[in-house]
């Protein structure tokens, strides 16, 4: 049943993003950054943690989950290091995902062939 809820919640998050693309004049970049900021805000309000506990990777994998990860990292680092943690916590928490995406980009740049944009 956990797989079903992960699929439903993750799908609902994607449906909202698609509706924002289709029904508004928002650019994809604005929607993506809006999702990350919304994840931070929902996590700060204590609303996103229970959703992650309920839906698992259906809520933690989308960009809302990345915002939640950043907020949780900052909260933990501030508890350990004080105010300096607000500068380092988000990057420490998201370092593995950021590194993986950069490495995938580098590998794809070696494998793929660039084309002239004109």
Number of domains in the chain: 1
The conformation of residue 83, written as its DSSP 8-state character, comes to: G
Distances (CA, A) of 89 to 75, 77, 79, 96: 7, 5, 10, 13
Is residue 50 a part of any domain in this protein? yes
Kindly state the percentage of the chain with pLDDT values over 90.
75
Give the pLDDT band of residue 114 (cuts 50, 70, 90).
Answer: confident
Select from 66, 57, 45 the least CA-distant residue to 4. Answer: 57
Is 42 a domain residue? yes
**In whole numbers, what is the pLDDT of the chain averaged over residues?**
92
Instruction: Please indicate, yes or no, if residue 116 is contained in any of the structural domains.
Output: no
29 within domain boundaries: yes
**Residue 93 burial (CB < 10 Å; 0-12/13-18/19+)?**
buried
| Enclosing domain of residue 94 | 2-111
Is residue 118 a part of any domain in this protein? no
pTM of the predicted structure, to 2 decimals: 0.81
């Amino acid at each position: 049943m956990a797989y079903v809820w992960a699929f439903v919640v993750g799908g609902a998050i994607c449906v909202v993003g698609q509706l924002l693309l289709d029904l508004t004049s928002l650019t994809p970049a604005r929607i993506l950054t809006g999702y990350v900021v919304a994840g931070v805000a929902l996590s700060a309000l204590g609303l996103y943690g229970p959703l992650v506990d309920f839906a698992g990777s259906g809520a933690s994998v989308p960009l809302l989950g990345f915002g939640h990860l950043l907020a949780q990292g900052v909260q933990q680092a501030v508890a350990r290091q004080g105010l300096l943690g607000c500068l380092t916590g988000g990057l420490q928490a998201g370092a593995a995902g950021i590194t993986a995406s950069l490495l995938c980009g580098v590998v794809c740049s070696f494998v793929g062939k660039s084309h002239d944009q004109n």
